Structure 1
Amino acid sequence: MTSPTSSTPELPAPAPSRRFLAWEVILVLGLSLGRSAIYAILQLAERLSLAPLSEQSATVHSSRSRHELFDLTYQLLDSLFALVPVALVIYLFLLHGTNPFRRFGLDLRRPGRDLGIGLGLFVLIGAGTLVVYLAGRTAGLTMEIVPSDVTEHWWTTPTLLLAAVRHALVEEVIMIAYLFDRARRLWPALASSSSRVSPMWWVIAAAALLRGAYHLYQGFGPGVGNALMGLIFGAVYLRYGRVMPLVIAHFLLDAVAFLAFPLVLQLTGMSGLIGG
């Protein structure tokens, strides 16, 4: 005999309410980049109270231990735990019957176009980053940026590349793909408006400001530069509806910064800025 519930068809997961989605966004940001923004603002305020920003430095990726094995372990755990909010976002979408990889465009359906757009964004944002860094250092509003001071070991390059993948996925999946989807569901008028200028630009601007905020620990220059990057990335996502080009561009930017930033400064004639 079969159990009374064995023949009962499973009901589809109910669509989450707006209140549920609002709390979901708050919790996801509180576990990830929203928390980072609060700490970055506090760190900037503290640094301003200590000395001029031009006399200070900010390290993006540091060694965590003098012991090689422990440092490697810390580096791997940092990347793995930082990716948990991304896994949470993916799980939340799957929980409600949506394929997040297809919804976000985080797949390999269009590799050629994704790579082409990603490379174009890498060149554009990379050049813009150097200009903003130069302007910020000249104006005394930006600290000396040290992308990485991880001690050289056989595993250093792979872990730095893993960190670049982590930053790319966390920032672009959460700040762009996830927040844009949730904004459309919280305010359906964003998707249905017939205005010539998409009201999604309000979401793009808000996400860009948050992106700039969690980079303020590096000074005002990187905050402004990353906010501009957020505007460009948001516009590209609004146009193509795929986050993969943004992930590619962000990965390349961080990989070059972590592995070859001094060389880039030297090739562009900016090496004199290192050391303040």
Structure 2
Amino acid sequence: MVNGLRAWLVPERDQVVVDDARERRAIVTELVIVFTVTLGMSGLRSLLSLIDSLLQPAPLSDQKVALNVPQATATLIDFLKQLLSAVQLVAWGALAVYLLWRAGYRLSQVGLRFFRSDVVRAVGLAALIGIPGLGLYLAAYALGFNLTVLPTTLNDTWWRPIALVASAFGNAWAEETLVVAYFITRLRQLGLRENKSLVYAAVLRGSYHLYQGFGGFVGNFVMGLVFGRIWQRTNRLWPLVIAHTLLDVVAFVGYAFLHNVSWLPK
């Protein structure tokens, strides 16, 4: 049992470390460019948003931040812009997968081989993360460490559920491919140990949720540790993508219909 726990906490993995100095510089440069364009820049903006919120006279819990907001006054244009935002997220994840493929990795090597059991695993994983995650958010909000998070402020239109599901999948696909499969794989090539790569990936995941407050960072940091370790141990990415999608669908669509529930922060 002790050896099994140690294997989980300190996984060993055969990997090809890039020794050529020029190739290593190319990997580092690629990482900087990719995350400047995608989630790394989101992390910096999120940090600035948190600092701005802390500088406001009102406490964090009295401030609000919305995740899915209207992007146009004309309803059809708003719908199309919502879909384009989701497409952009899917493209970010596709870029990560493409770069790994160009580097010689097969899709199955980074976990993108689908098994029917992935759906069952995903449902269990979503419950494992979602229920404690909601409790953490409510606790952080009550303690004044978090802003009031409004999952959506979209108008009640026929297309709202479609846009929210598209947003959920886009976020899940982008984050899991970029922060787990791509980032950790590249760190392996640079010779970083699994635990250190895992922590770096979790910090990155938490960073672009800082705009929600300290609870948003901590909750997503923990989620990053769990998701990243599962991928390191199983090399299966689809359970993470599906679980993340389910979490966001419940948060986005559920809030749209249940936002008047008395115990939810408003």
TM tier, smaller: 0.7 to 0.9
Distance in 1 between residues matched to 2:258 and 2:223, nearest whole Å: 19
In the alignment, is the contact (CA less than 8 A) between 1:106 and 1:242 conserved in 2?
Answer: yes
Task: Pick the aligned partner of 1:142 from 146, 149, 155.
Answer: 146
Residue 53 (str. 1) matches residue 51 (str. 2): no
Three-state SS of the structure 2 residue aligned to 1:17 is helix
Residues 189-200 of structure 1 correspond to what in structure 2 (within 5 A)?
190=192, 199-200=193-194
2:105 to 94, 98, 102: 98
In the other structure, the counterpart of 1:132 is 136
1:222 equivalent in structure 2? 216
1:118 matches 2:125: no
Question: Is the 1:86–1:169 contact (alpha carbons within 8 Å) kept by the matching residues of 2?
Answer: yes
Count of paired positions: 245
Tell me if the contact between 2:125 and 2:243 (Cα under 8 Å) persists in the aligned partners. yes
Task: Choose which of 201, 206, 213 in structure 1 pairs with 2:207.
Answer: 213
Equivalent residue in structure 2 for 1:88, among 95, 106, 111: 95
SS in 2 for 1:146: strand
Q: CA deviation at 1:262?
A: 6.7
Among 247, 252, 274, which residue is 2:265 paired with?
Answer: 274
Once the two structures are TM-superposed, the CA of residue 249 in structure 1 deviates from its matched residue by 0.6
Residue 150 of structure 1 deviates from its aligned partner by 1.1
Identity of aligned residues (%): 36
Distance 1:80 1:273 in 2: 30
TM-score by length of 1: 0.84
Q: Which amino acid aligns with 2:223?
A: M
- Which of 27, 34, 42 is the aligned partner of 2:33? 27
Deviations 1:244-276 (A, max 9, x none): 11101100000000100376788xxx843422x
**Alpha-carbon deviation of 1:67?**
0.8
TM-score (norm 2): 0.87
In structure 1, list runs of 5 or more residues that go unmatched.
1-14, 191-198
2:89 is matched by which residue type in structure 1?
A
* Aligned match of 2:252: 258
Are positions 1:248 and 2:253 aligned together?
no
Determine if the alignment matches structure 1 residue 107 to structure 2 residue 105: no
Change (3 A) 1:264 1:155: closer
Contact 1:61 1:149 in 2 (8 A): yes
Q: Which residue of 1 aligns with 2:180?
A: 176
The answer to whether the 8 A contact 1:213-1:223 is kept is yes
The one-character-per-residue Cα deviations of 1:127-172 (angstroms, maximum 9, x if unpaired) are 1111111111110111111101111222211111111110001100
Structure 1 stretches of at least 4 aligned residues deviating more than 4 Å after TM superposition: 262-266
CA distance in 2: counterparts of 1:239 and 1:119, whole angstroms? 18
Looking at structure 2, the residues matched to 271 and 207 of structure 1 have their Cα atoms a distance apart, in angstroms, of 36
Contact between 1:208 and 1:227, CA under 8 Å: does it hold in 2?
yes
2:66 is paired with a residue of what secondary structure? Answer: strand
